[in-house]
Amino acid sequence: MADEQLLKQVREKAQMWLREGYDAETQAQVRAMLDNADPTELIESFYKDLEFGTGGLRGIMGAGSNRMNIYTVGSATQGLANYMKEAFKDLEQIKVVVGHDVRNNSRLFAETVANIFSANGIKVYLFEGPRPTPEVSYAIRLLGCQSGVNITASHNPKEYNGYKAYWDDGAQVVSPHDVNIIDYVNRIADVSEIKFEGNPELIEIVGENIDSQYIEQIHTLSLSPDVDRKHHDLKIVYTPIHGVGRDIVPRSIMRWGFDNIIHIPEQDVMSGDFPTVPQPNPEMRSAMEMAIAKAEEVQADIALASDPDADRISVVFKNNKGEYDLVNGNQIQLIFHYYLITRNAELGKLDRDNDYIVKTIVTSETIARIAKAQGIKMYDCYTGFKWIASVIRELEGTSAHYLGGGEESYGFLPEDFARDKDSVSSIPLMCEIAAWAKDRGQTMNEMLIELYKTYGYSKERGISVVRPGKSGAEEIQAMMVNFRENPQQAIAGSPVVLIKDFQKLEQKDMLTGEVTTLDMPATSNVLQYFTEDGTKVSIRPSGTEPKIKFYIEVHDVNWDGTDYDAKNDWADAKIDTICHDLGI
């Protein structure tokens, strides 16, 4: 009966998309779903509205209320425009930046967004073609805009697209604007309320004028220009994985003085079909196979990649066995923070009273040990760069100085003039780190081992359990309820001593039973277990994808730096045991 009721509801909802106001192509797709004997696609396309969350939209492209199309994009934009006209009603001219990545339909969606904003009297700076997500963030600040939108689904599969909304500081929106925008978007009840007819006089095309300023400002981050020049011929393999980094990332690398960039021609093709990879996610080895093969072929010092919208990065260098291997996201964070703190100290620029770094709660605790040992303030925040940007915004105008911040999901931001993770700045910085290590007679792997020896060994593994569709969302919810109501008592034989529940903003000392409040800016559906031997397990449903994520971290703070391979084997075995204990 429940299934029959659901099917009746989705059919009625789909029929609404056959009215005037929807284009012929969309109507044809809806009719095809209605006529199909198998209702699966109809249900998945209409069983709910594609939710405008705190980060915007993300979903599979196609017709329907639960899909990315000009109508769901249009509703989001009209709601955002309505809210901006209220929030900035005292401004003579409200301004926004609109950008997009290389995905199929991204240009269509970006032009739709620009038209709707302009139809609402809002000045639009529309990028002439695909640009990095962090450049959109940078342009918002540079041009004094009140908001911005980037059409991108980051590293998701090719069927997806997305809509990221930014505020006047160049960061993704946080409270109170996030909930207010959602409210205004939800008020759009009918397609007739969306102003699709744009005003060309209010749309200005931008491109190279922003690119050049962005690249120049990124170059100011260099801490070792002499080393860069000395090792200008460092062998650097770079791939954009068919994305927007193709032109601007090599330009940025060369501006730092490196001139030996080795390309992978097949992956220099900008394409929303991502033809050489199963999924354009630089966290996945399958997306980096061609880069690894090229690194082996030319015996590169380092191989690097950016994802399709050039916010995340991937790093490859030789491991302890002399094999090129993918560096995990936590190790990327460790290397960046280690270099920024160590190099600034070498130069006499480290201000221990005011310098600070930021990491997310699921990122390696070894970063906290580095910061503590060096006397640097470290802030822990929620997953997502909007929270790192929020810390920067709160400290802006004080004596505090941002050194860098990042998260384990392969994103780092070494500057504060953009407010989203940034491969265009992170990649040349990583090249500089490779040159700096080489200048000290070290490989990148030897530098990483030195870091672990100095600050304690750690190893992390991220595991995603994917459960697509309506039933999958319900299963993920049930898993979180179970972990909360039936918490682990021990993990890999070590007693759980602390549980942090960020949905309740409570932490419980399992030894004393004491419950205290977590000081965070909002609640978040994250649960963490900490064990007596230093293991940390974080559990978090994704806010943008149909999966639940497990972040597992094991430690040996007293490791003496010998037999790195054996230590890695020990950690892998322990993480395998933890996975078994968690039932994943």
Catalytic residues: 154
Instruction: Order the strands of the 411-413 sheet from edge to edge.
Output: 377-381, 355-360, 401-407, 411-413
Nearest to residue 107, comparing CAs of 121, 82, 126?
Answer: 126
For 134, 168, 170, 174, 395, the CA distances from 389, given in Å and listed in that order, are 12, 12, 9, 10, 10
425: nearest Cα among 239, 256, 264 = 256
In the block, residue with structure tokens 């953009």 = 418
Q: What are phi and psi of 289, to 5 degrees?
A: -60, -40
> If you search the block for the tokens 């204990």, which residue do you land on?
581
- Give the β-pairing of 355-360 and 377-381: parallel
For the chain, helix (H) and strand (E) counts, in that order, are 18, 23
What separation in angstroms does the CA of 522 have from each of 166, 175, 225, 519?
A: 18, 8, 41, 9
Half-sphere exposure of 413 (CA within 13 A, CB side): 31
How far is it, in rounded angstroms, from Cα 56 to Cα 172? 9
**b vs e for 142-156, b when ≥16 Cβ sit within 10 Å of the residue's Cβ?**
bbebbbbbbbbbbbb
DSSP state of 310: S
Q: Name residues whose C-beta falls within 8 Å of residue 495's C-beta, 6 or more positions apart in sequence.
A: 489, 510, 531, 532
Angle between helices 177-186 and 70-87 (to 10 degrees): 130
The length of the chain is 584
Residue 82 CB contacts under 8 Å (≥ 6 apart), including other chains? 120, 184, 187
Torsion (CA) 75, 80, 81, 83 in degrees, nearest 10: 130
Q: Report the alpha-carbon distance of residue 457 to residue 438 in Å, rounded.
A: 22
